Structure 1
Amino acid sequence: MLARRHFLALAAAIACGTVASTAHAQGVIKIGEINSYKAQPAFLEPYKKGMELAVEEINKAGGLNGRQVELVVRDDNANPGDAVRVAEELVSREKVDVLAGSFLSHIGLALTDFAKQKKFFFLAGEPLTDKIVWDNGNRYTFRLRPSTYMQVAMLVPEASKMKKKRWALVYPNYEYGQSAAATFKKLMKEAQPDIEFVTEQASPLGRVDAGSVTQALADAKPDAIFNVLFGADLARFVREGNTRGLFKDREVVSLLTGEPEYMDPLKDEAPNGWLVTGYPWYGIDTPEHKAFQSAYQAKFNDYPRLGSVVGYSTIKSLGEGIKKAGSTDTEKLITAFRGLQVSTPFGPITYRPEDHQSTMGGYVGRTKNEGGKGVMVDYRYLDGAAYLPPAAEAKKLRPAE
């Protein structure tokens, strides 16, 4: 009799459509994550491991508001159209609670627009273009990683002290590279009005013709070079530049080159003395970083890369935001993220209410070829909050909501 009553109650619930919604409310929290895993494995394989570590820690501690966390990961094939397609699949079919991820800036922008159109919460972990939080910013999108503007601003004070007049620029010819070059020229011109930019070499992403680029740079006879190439493009450029003596007696300022993802593959070709942003994991002795590094190495038997920190901090940010909101409701999450404080391996960060940019900072130092391996030396951590426009100014850079 009891079994029959239970069956009838269950049948009635199904008829009313209440079972699925109740199960979803009491079940796992799904984080839909979209990234260019096949195209950018050097950064994104460690990134995924960082996410997995954070999810494991959250679930072992009881989950979020009593619910366990599940990652639902998709590859975007380094294509904005594919990114939007899988985002739609994650939201409509997988019923994820939030979206996160993206690496390449033009894909981050496509997902930023998707979040706006669908009124769905999106945390951009890695893409660096300033448009994500400024020109194309919207109420549904937040960004973790220090932006192009922030990282260039961290390098400019030291670059201007070099007192080099003739500069050459080399960068990948897509949103990130273009914005990095434009920001560098703007900030350097403000710091050093007599500066000249004697050549710009913009190469297709992933297909740099290192020989012709190196020759063009040498022909321009610059006093210094600003480089934005990364990954395999960087390796080709460094190899060709070393062979042709391009870097001899020239200052080089280089975004991202100090990240182990890009430094380690250079091995004994790693350059000496470049001014870079990066991640000297081997020398950071803060309590937050030591705890992260220890847990990461214990789980994966490997050292962390910068991608590991970004992936870990992306999930930790979502965890803190969901806990603060007490919900995965988009509007409640937006309210919770504005001013949200999060503990990361780089220390505490805050998501600014005015432009949804986090204050995560970065390490600036010099490269050194040490025993056939590239490392960062003379580095220091710079707080991202000090390299952002004032909040009121940043708010003016965004479209009205």
Structure 2
Amino acid sequence: MNRVLSHSVRLLTASLCLAAAGAHAQGTIKIGEINSYKALPQNLVPYKQGWLLAQEEINAAGGVLGKKLETIFRDDNANPGDAVRMAEELVARENVDILSGVTLSHVGLALTDFAKQKKVFFLASGPLSDKVVWDQGNRYTYRLRSGTYALSASVIAEAAKLKKKRWALIYPNYEYGQAAVAAFKENMKKAQPDIEFVAEQSPPLGKIDAGAVSQAIADARPDAIFNVMFGSDLTKLAREGKTRGLFEGREVVSLLTGEPEYLDPLKGDAPSGWIVTGYPYANIDTPEHKAFLAAYQKKYNDYPRLNSVVGYATVKAIAAGVRKAGGTDTEKLIAAFKGLEFSSPFGPVVFRPQDNQSTLGIFVGRTAVQDGKGVMPSGTYLDGSKLQPSEEQIRKLRNPS
């Protein structure tokens, strides 16, 4: 009798556990987020903080369609193969509804292909390679952050105003650097037909010989420099160039350098007066950004980085898309994200129907050193929709699949 009772209790317990698990699954929207957390902590600690802040705000307001957002984070080890394995595990074992994330372009391209092969909805948050939405783009993949072409296009107006004829180029020798320089050349030749490119230095990513690069650029005697180096390479170049006087009397236009992620490590060695893309977080005077800044500072007792905005906006986009789709069915999400508009810390953003690219924009301004620290004190916001190639170019580039 006791054995029968014990068996019944076990069956009842197992049933209750299964029911609870089913109720949990029905009550949540599961997002699988894949990123290079160990490889890029300066970018991805702020990113995850922004992500969790948005998720917390959405869940506190009742979730999406009455369901709470739940995110399962995975590290891709900055490796495309590992990223694909993580994606397979998230889809097959964790039963996530949506895949998102990625900062590194080569990882982003691997997951773009995975999404197409497995027919899974994928919102790429930050990979800069435009192949994610153009050459290798597909109907399952959308991207939040503006890509390499837009970044280069965003500085053209300010670069052309300088009226400098002889330019030197410094960029990392892989797809991002090559694409950024190609876009800069293309657009500068249109804006200033007499421009000359008198020197190019393209060291391997993470392996810059800053002394040799600085000397080679100085020997070419350019009037201005276009720089695409970032991270530790940027730190070395900025310090070595400052020591050698490379930047004295020369204008420098530099992508990404105005982001706190890259200015902070330089401290007092940060460049002053460079034209940059970045994030002047202390001086963005809009209601959306003021609300975001106050909430972020309250939660983390720290200022946000650009990747904080990217993480936060990605979650807001997912919530808006699921709401519009009425659920997480892949085909309904694909349809819902076409032309989807949502609110970000930078204001309204739209996902363009023609290439699945969002119009999240870019700030352009100049750097300064204040209180022994590099800052971007102000900037002009350029809407991402105004920084893209022509519709004809996109049609030629865009994979119709």
TM-score, length of structure 2 as denominator length: 0.93
Residues 367, 377 of structure 2: 8 Å contact kept:
yes
- The one-letter code matched in structure 1 to 2:177 is G
Query: Equivalent residues in 2 for 1:179-328 (5 A)?
Result: 179-328=179-328
Sequence identity, in percent?
Answer: 65
- 1:70 maps to what in 2? 70
- 2:336 maps to what in 1? 336
Gaps of 5+ in 1: none
Instruction: Evaluate the alpha carbon distance shift between residue 267 and residue 349 of structure 1 in structure 2; reply closer, same or farther with a 3 A threshold.
Output: same
- The one-letter code matched in structure 2 to 1:28 is T
- The one-letter code matched in structure 1 to 2:72 is V
- 1:86 maps to what in 2? 86
- 1:99 maps to what in 2? 99
Query: Equivalent residues in 2 for 1:39-54 (5 A)?
Result: 39-54=39-54
1:77 is paired with a residue of what secondary structure?
coil
How much has 1:270 moved relative to structure 2? Answer: 1.2
- 1:353 maps to what in 2? 353
For 2:214 and 2:38, how far apart are their aligned partners in 1? 28
How much has 1:394 moved relative to structure 2? Answer: 2.4
Residues 106, 174 of structure 1: 8 Å contact kept:
no
For 1:99 and 1:316, how far apart are their aligned partners in 2? 14
For 1:76 and 1:215, how far apart are their aligned partners in 2? 37
Deviates more, 1:364-373 or 1:291-300: 364-373
Query: Equivalent residues in 2 for 1:139-154 (5 A)?
Result: 139-154=139-154
- 1:136 maps to what in 2? 136
For 1:209 and 1:110, how far apart are their aligned partners in 2? 30
2:367 is paired with a residue of what secondary structure?
strand
1:254 is paired with a residue of what secondary structure?
strand
Two-structure CA RMSD over aligned residues (Å): 2.2
For 2:384 and 2:68, how far apart are their aligned partners in 1? 32
Question: What whole-Å deviation, never above 9, does each CA across 1:143-189 have from its counterpart, x for those lacking one?
Answer: 11111111111101111121212211111222211211111111112
- The one-letter code matched in structure 2 to 1:179 is A
- The one-letter code matched in structure 2 to 1:358 is S
How much has 1:49 moved relative to structure 2? Answer: 0.2
Deviates more, 1:239-248 or 1:79-88: 79-88
2:160 is paired with a residue of what secondary structure?
helix
TM-score, length of structure 1 as denominator length: 0.93
For 1:392 and 1:19, how far apart are their aligned partners in 2? 54
- Give yes or no for the alignment of 1:118 onto 2:118: yes
1:203 is paired with a residue of what secondary structure?
coil
Residues 355, 391 of structure 1: 8 Å contact kept:
no
How much has 1:220 moved relative to structure 2? Answer: 1.9
For 1:54 and 1:230, how far apart are their aligned partners in 2? 28
For 1:169 and 1:47, how far apart are their aligned partners in 2? 30
For 2:24 and 2:386, how far apart are their aligned partners in 1? 42
Question: What whole-Å deviation, never above 9, does each CA across 1:218-239 have from its counterpart, x for those lacking one?
Answer: 1222111111111111111100
Residues 283, 377 of structure 2: 8 Å contact kept:
no
Instruction: Evaluate the alpha carbon distance shift between residue 302 and residue 21 of structure 1 in structure 2; reply closer, same or farther with a 3 A threshold.
Output: closer
How much has 1:25 moved relative to structure 2? Answer: 5.4
How much has 1:21 moved relative to structure 2? Answer: 9.6
Residues 42, 231 of structure 1: 8 Å contact kept:
no
For 2:218 and 2:382, how far apart are their aligned partners in 1? 33
Paired residue total: 392
How much has 1:86 moved relative to structure 2? Answer: 1.0
Gaps of 5+ in 2: none
- Give yes or no for the alignment of 1:383 onto 2:380: no
Question: What whole-Å deviation, never above 9, does each CA across 1:265-289 have from its counterpart, x for those lacking one?
Answer: 2111111111000000011121000
How much has 1:378 moved relative to structure 2? Answer: 5.0
How much has 1:58 moved relative to structure 2? Answer: 1.0
For 1:25 and 1:300, how far apart are their aligned partners in 2? 30
How much has 1:42 moved relative to structure 2? Answer: 1.0
